[in-house]
Structure 1
């Protein structure tokens, strides 16, 4: 899911600003409440905002399968303008969220990553029919870049909470390797959901996948820790995702 958003950001373009912190969160430095991540499914409607009008562009379906030793997160995106689905799959270890596997398939490219002592796999650019074999080493622990939006809702959120998160991302059109995502600020807020005003944590984030040029703001239900809404701002443009079910 995160890679699909960043793919759109790259196409649309934007500019740069970077923030960092000395000791990022990672599987060995992980304050998340593991019990908050449970098996289940959810659906979000995805909108592009133009002149204050929300134009629906697709739906995002997420399935979480929690087992004793591993957790699978499968995200399927159905775009109104595209005949094919975009599917991202992430597998992590249950006890610390360390990455095991990641795959991403869409019209423009296929990618598979396997996380072991080395990160191996392949990247197939369908526009140029170029297949690149991946073999990367990392000198520090990290989360899968596709998982960190889920991680945010599990953290010990409070007013003024900020932090950095160590993530691994592979994209030939941007940075490759261990980079950071940044929680810039957290504050109490409210948002409307199903006709009710819900108390939420409003969490503002950015990451090096987009060279910190895009800001994602998550509205996380204080009681359930569900992401009720996500706003993405980039280069003067705006997208919104809203939880449907």
Structure 2
């Protein structure tokens, strides 16, 4: 009787684990509406908030090019205190958003990831001049960590919506491999945007990249699904990004 009970508990536990893996958002379990993303260019101002002060520290420009089979996303970060721009490029499949390519170039490091049966590329730490060849193999489906902020605005958002997203990140100083991003809550609210009251989805997220210590709130226009504002709380240090139109 006891052995039978153990077997049943094992089967139940395995079923719960399998169910959890299947319900994790990924290119194989995709509830995204791909019609909500189109070719566009947007620019956000980046601020640091200190008490009542709002100090601009840079700008973020995002270019999205949607083609028949692929979507190209180029993000250019310009910091006021740095002459060098931070440029990230991401390529994903059009329908599933399965990652194809990701590159990132900035003052601290250069990185290229190519996604196939294996994940290949390199990571160059410019502080130590150490170059690491990348060869990773993952047996779980995932989105590119650089794409998931775009993914959030394409989901079937509603009051109380929450979910967990499977993402891949490569950071020798933090984590390497398949980790998760978590949508903790979604609520319909309104914000003042360019002097107008605008209905938005406020989506609260966190992820394993920051060990779930950073809380990010996305304010997404209900009608256009554009990200109008993004707030990031790093343990009391607040950053704000606002769409420039």
TM-score by length of 1: 0.91
Unaligned runs of 5+ residues in structure 2 are 1-19
Q: How does 1:184-203 map to 2 (within 5 A)?
A: 184-203=184-203
User: Which is greater in Rg?
Assistant: 2
Superposed CA RMSD: 1.0
In the other structure, the counterpart of 1:177 is 177
Residue 45 (structure 1) aligns with? 45
Mapped to 1, the partners of 2:23 and 2:137 lie a distance apart of 20
Task: Indicate the SS of the match to 2:73.
Answer: strand
Runs of 4+ in 1 over 4 A off after TM superposition: none
Q: Which runs of 5+ in 1 are unaligned?
A: 1-19
How far off is 1:21 after superposition? 7.8
Q: Which residue of 1 aligns with 2:226?
A: 226
- Counterpart position of 1:235: 235
Which residue matches 1:131? 131
Q: Is 2:103–2:111's contact at 8 Å kept on the other side of the alignment?
A: yes
Give the CA deviation at 1:229.
Answer: 0.1
Matched ranges for 1:74-113 at <5 A: 74-113=74-113
Shift of residue 52, structure 1, vs aligned partner: 2.3
Number of equivalenced pairs:
226
How far apart, CA to CA, are the structure 1 residues paired with 2:243 and 2:21?
31
Cα deviation, residue 142, structure 1: 0.3
Larger RCO, structures 1/2 (Cα 8 Å, 6+ apart)? 1
8 A contact 1:21–1:163 mirrored in 2 = no
Alignment match, 1:149: 149
8 A contact 1:21–1:164 mirrored in 2: no
Partner of 1:15: none
CA distance in structure 1 between the partners assigned to 2:162 and 2:110 by the alignment: 34
1:169-189, Cα deviation, whole Å (9 max, x unpaired): 000011100000000000011
Alpha-carbon distance between aligned partners in 2 of 1:22 and 1:237, rounded to the nearest angstrom: 36
- SS for the counterpart of 1:104 is strand
Aligned 8 A contact 2:22 2:29 in 1:
no
Task: Calculate the TM-score normalised by the size of structure 2.
Answer: 0.91
